[in-house]
Chains A and B, each alone.
Chain A
Amino acid sequence: MATPHEIVTQKRAAALQRLAARGYDAPSKVFIGMATCEIAAGSKEVMEVFQEALKGGLKNVYVSQKGCFGRCNLEPTVDVIKKGKKPVTYGKVTVDRAKEIIEKHIIGGKAIAEYIIK
Chain B
Amino acid sequence: MSAPEVYNIAQVPITSHAFNANRSEVCVSLNSNEAQILGKQGSEWVAKETLSEHDKIITSIDWAPNSNRIVTASQDRNAYVWSQAPDPLTGQMIWKPTLVLLRINRAATYVRWSPNEDKFAVASGARAIAICSFDPESDWWVSKQLKKPIRSTVLSVDWHPNNVLLAAGSADMKARVFSAYIKDVDKKPQASVWGEKLPFNTVCGEYSSSSGGWVHAVGFSPSGDVLAFASHDSSITIVYPGAPAVITIKSMTLPYTTLVWTSEDSLVAAGHDCQPILFQGSETTGWKAVGSLDDTTAPKSSGGGRQSAVGRLNSAAFNTFRNADTRGQTSLPGMPGAGSGGESELMTVHQNTISTIRAHAGAPSQVTKVSTSGADGNLVIWTTNAVSGLVGRMSGLRM
Q: Do A and B come from one complex?
A: no
Which residues of chain B have a CB within 8 Å of any CB of chain A? none
Which residues of chain A have a CB within 8 Å of any CB of chain B? none
